[in-house]
Structure 1
Amino acid sequence: MGEIAEVSDVEIQALAERVLGEITELLEVENKYLSDVQQMKMDAHIKAMARRSLTGEGLPDFDADLFDEISAPAMRLSETVTAMFGNLPNKEALLLSIHFEMAKSK
């Protein structure tokens, strides 16, 4: 296992806010939105992804088969967002896809 880098909360928050801004635009293009509760969950998840991206910390193992029912559009959005970090594994997209699956149509 690699060493986990030291990163400030300011760096994590800056990266998370940049990605969250992009998510807002992606959802707008898809004519979708998140409820206030869903947005709070997305914010927390993106901040955790930013931390993992900057520190090199990995995810615990999980069963990818649990995500077989995720729609192609939700997975595409999730993969797009995960790619914004530049260094996160695709299994991050699986976890994030749940948020996009739950987004509501306008």
Structure 2
Amino acid sequence: MRRDRFDWKNFMLKPPMRFNMAKGNLDPEAVSQRLLALIKQWLEAAGAYTTQVQQQMLTTHIRAMVMRAKTGEPLPEVDNSLFDEVSPESIALAAQVVETLPGLAVEEAYLLSVHFEVARSNS
């Protein structure tokens, strides 16, 4: 399914899970793998995909995000205007992933959205 024909508005659903890394005794690697599996499903449903290199970069980002959710480590300051050309759909999808990890900064969605924008451009 090509991205221009995909109904992103109806695709955007609430995340089916939440991982409270700060309060729970959750394994960061297990949480990362569950999130990556969820992302893969969402991308496949949208007809999007990542190359092997793109997947490695996404995996590294998700693992770091999960650890930030666990440790409370803040992100460096991010200029959101850098993401003006990222589609609202990619930002919304990234926001859904970020919502699964309570306590993360909203800027995480902007950074993550770049991965989804690239995956969507592959389709």
- TM-score in same-fold range (> 0.5): yes
Q: Which runs of 5+ in 2 are unaligned?
A: 1-21
Q: 3-state SS of the aligned residue for 1:77? A: helix
1:46-61 → structure 2 map (5 Å cutoff): 46-61=62-77
Runs of 4+ in structure 1 off by over 4 angstroms are: none
Q: Deviations over 1:20-55 (max 9, x none)?
A: 111011101111000000000000000000000111
Q: Which runs of 5+ in 1 are unaligned?
A: none
Q: CA RMSD in A?
A: 1.6
Look up the match of 1:76. Answer: 92
Q: 3-state SS of the aligned residue for 1:58? A: coil
TM-score normalized by the length of structure 2: 0.75
* Number of residue-to-residue matches in the alignment: 98
- Which of residues 34, 37, 52 in structure 2 aligns to 1:36? 52
Look up the match of 1:93. Answer: 109
CA distance in 1 between counterparts of 2:100 and 2:41 reads 13
CA distance in 2 between counterparts of 1:43 and 1:33 reads 13
Q: 3-state SS of the aligned residue for 1:88? A: coil
CA distance in 2 between counterparts of 1:56 and 1:86 reads 10
Conserved 8 A contact 2:68-2:74: yes
Post-superposition shift, 1:87? 2.1
Look up the match of 1:65. Answer: 81
Q: 3-state SS of the aligned residue for 2:104? A: coil
